[in-house]
C-alpha cells in the first residue's frame, strides 16, 4: 500500500497542536491591550509543530486546521474568511521562513521565523483592506502601529517556540517521540 505523507501519529499530533493554539487563544490571555499579542503562543506552537513533525507542510497544515477552527468559532474580528486566511497565512509564512532559515532550535532562527510567520497575518489584513478598495496609504498608516506589535509578538512567540524546543529536548521529549512511528 502507498505510504501516507504524514504518518497517523504525525497527522494527529498536528491536529492536536492546531486545537492547542485555538484552546490557548480562548483559555489564556495576556493582560496587554495590543493587537497581535495572542501570537506569542500561536507562533510558539507552530514552530514546535514544524520541528516535531519535521516534514514540509507541517506548519501549513497547522495553519489551515487552526484557521478552520477559528473561523467556526468566530474568533477573528473581520469575519470568517479573514480569520481562516490569516491563520493559514501564518502557517505558510512560518513554513517558508523555516525552509529558508533552518532549524528552529537555534533561537535566532526561531525568533526570525516567528516574526516572518506573524507578519504574514499582517499582510493578510493589509490585502483585505486593499481588496475592498481602501487607499493603500491610509490602510498602511492605520496598520502601522499594529505592524510593530505583530513583529514584536511574532518574535517573542518565535523565541518562546525555540526555548520550548530546547526545554523539550532536555526533558526527554524527543527520546519519547523517537519510540513512536
Partner 1 sequence: MKPLLYAEKVSFTYPQTQRSSGPLSLSLHQGESLLVYGPSGGGKSTLARCLAGLIPHLYHGQMNGDVWIGDRNTKEMQSWEIAREAGFVFQNPATQIVTSSVEDELLFGLENLGLPREEIKTRFDNVVDQFHLSSFLKRSPFTLSGGEQQKLSLAAIIAMHPSVLILDEPLSMLDSSAADEFINLLKEQQQEGTSLVFFEHRLPYLQDFPGLKRIPLGIASNDQPKSQITTAAHPKKVGAFSIHVQGLTVSFGKKKILDELNIEFEGGQLVALAGKNGSGKTTLLRSLAGLQPFEGTIRVIGNRQDESDFPQLNMVFQNPDTQLFNPTVREEILYKIQSPNQELYEWLIPALNLEKYQDTQPLLLSEGEKRRLALAIALMHPHKHGILLDEPSLGQDQMHKDLLIQLLKTISQMGYLVFYATHDIELAAKADRMILISEKGIIADEPTRNILLNKNAWQQAGLLLPHWISP
Partner 2 sequence: MKWKRRKLYISTDLEETSPLRKFDPRTKLFLSLCASVVVMLPLQRLFIFLGLYIIFIIWARLFSHFLKQMDKIKWILIILFLVDWLVVSLQLAAEVTLRLSVLTSVFTVLFATTTPSELGLALESLGFPYRFAFSINLAFQSLGMLEQEWQAIWEAQKSRGVLFDIMNFRTLFTKVGDLVSLTVPAIVLATKHAWVITESATARGFDSPMRKPFHQLSYSACDWVVSIISAGLVSMLILWR
Under the binding rule (CB under 8 A), the answer on residue 6 touching partner 1 is: no
Under the binding rule (CB under 8 A), the answer on residue 133 touching partner 1 is: no
Under the binding rule (CB under 8 A), the answer on residue 12 touching partner 2 is: yes
Which long-range contacts does 54-58 make (Cβ < 8 Å, 24+ apart)?
Answer: 55/5, 55/6, 55/10, 56/95, 56/99, 57/5, 57/6, 57/95, 58/6, 58/10, 58/14, 58/95
How far apart are the C-alpha atoms of 110 and 114, rounded to whole Å? 6
How far apart are the C-alpha atoms of 163 and 105, rounded to whole Å? 8
Of the residues 36, 39, 46, 48, which one makes contact with partner 2 according to CB under 8 A:
48
Shortest spacing between CB 1 and partner 1, in angstroms: 7
Name the grid cell of 155.
518574535
Of the residues 31, 144, 175, 178, which one makes contact with partner 2 according to CB under 8 A:
31
Under the binding rule (CB under 8 A), the answer on residue 132 touching partner 2 is: yes
How far apart are the C-alpha atoms of 181 and 179, rounded to whole Å? 7
Under the binding rule (CB under 8 A), the answer on residue 27 touching partner 1 is: no
Which residues of this chain interact with partner 2, rule CB under 8 A?
Answer: 1, 4, 6, 8-9, 11-20, 22-24, 26-32, 40-41, 44-45, 48, 52, 65-66, 68-69, 71-74, 77-82, 84, 128, 131-135, 138, 142, 152, 156, 159-161, 163-164, 167-168, 171, 173, 176-177, 180
Amino acid at each position: 500500500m502507498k505510504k501516507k505523507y504524514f504518518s497517523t501519529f504525525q497527522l494527529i499530533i498536528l491536529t492536536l497542536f492546531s486545537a492547542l493554539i485555538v484552546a490557548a487563544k480562548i483559555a489564556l490571555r495576556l493582560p496587554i491591550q495590543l493587537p497581535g499579542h495572542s501570537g506569542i503562543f500561536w507562533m510558539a506552537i507552530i514552530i514546535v509543530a514544524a520541528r516535531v513533525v519535521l516534514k514540509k507542510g507541517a506548519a501549513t497544515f497547522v495553519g489551515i486546521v487552526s484557521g478552520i477552527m477559528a473561523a467556526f468559532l468566530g474568533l477573528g474580528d473581520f469575519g470568517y474568511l479573514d480569520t481562516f486566511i490569516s491563520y493559514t497565512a501564518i502557517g505558510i509564512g512560518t513554513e517558508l521562513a523555516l525552509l529558508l532559515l533552518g532549524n528552529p532550535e537555534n533561537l535566532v532562527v526561531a525568533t526570525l521565523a516567528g516574526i516572518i510567520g506573524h507578519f504574514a497575518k499582517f499582510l493578510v489584513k493589509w490585502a483585505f483592506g486593499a481588496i475592498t478598495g481602501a487607499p493603500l496609504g491610509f490602510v498602511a498608516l492605520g496598520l502601522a502601529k499594529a505592524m510593530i506589535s505583530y513583529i514584536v509578538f511574532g518574535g517573542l512567540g518565535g523565541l518562546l517556540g525555540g526555548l520550548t524546543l530546547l526545554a523539550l529536548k532536555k526533558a526527554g521529549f524527543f527520546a519519547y517521540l523517537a519510540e513512536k512511528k
